[in-house]
Structure 1
Amino acid sequence: MSVQETIEHKLSQELEPVHLEVLNESHMHNVPEGSESHFKVYVVSPAFEGQKRVGRQRTINRVLADELAGPVHALSLHTLTPAEWAAKDRETLASPQCLGGAGK
């Protein structure tokens, strides 16, 4: 199973999201072709009701602890309740281009 598939599976099992997007953005960074190290994740789940942003991120970090300790270098999290997601008109944001990091 790829890193992306593992992230999708774990978050689906743990949070039962109404919307889940896991985007591999490694190609936008200074990493070897085919890398799975940089991800943007949108999770919309009733499990986030009553939680502040830090609590939601801690939940994700706990679920993905093995991936964060291994292959995942960067994880951009967008954690929303269904009501918050609806209020944003289900809009996702484009990521900025990498400025090169250590490779420049």
Structure 2
Amino acid sequence: MSQPTQNKTTSAFYAQAGISFGLALLAMVVAVLYLPVDPWMRAFLALGTLYLTTSAFTLAKCVRDAQETSSVVSRLDQARVDKILADHDPFRSVS
């Protein structure tokens, strides 16, 4: 039986994702700092930016964990099917 192919993420994709995230967060922080508003409004926007950032990391971890779990379940199911097929002898007489 063929093994399921695993998607490998390239280092260039990791770099692009990290740089993109860093630039977006930096732009948001600079915008909050230089926004001509009262300090309490700036603090509210900064807190919102922090909350959005931590929520994005949490969501990414949850999605990754769900994908890994389904991958493990799929591999276990495939192993069970492989064992059943390996143990099956079509020429054995049924008694």
TM-score category (smaller protein): under 0.3
Bigger relative contact order (CA 8 A; separation at least 6): 1
Q: From the two aligned structures, give the one with the greater helix fraction.
A: 2
Larger Rg: 2
TM-score, scaled relative to structure 2: 0.27
TM-score, scaled relative to structure 1: 0.25
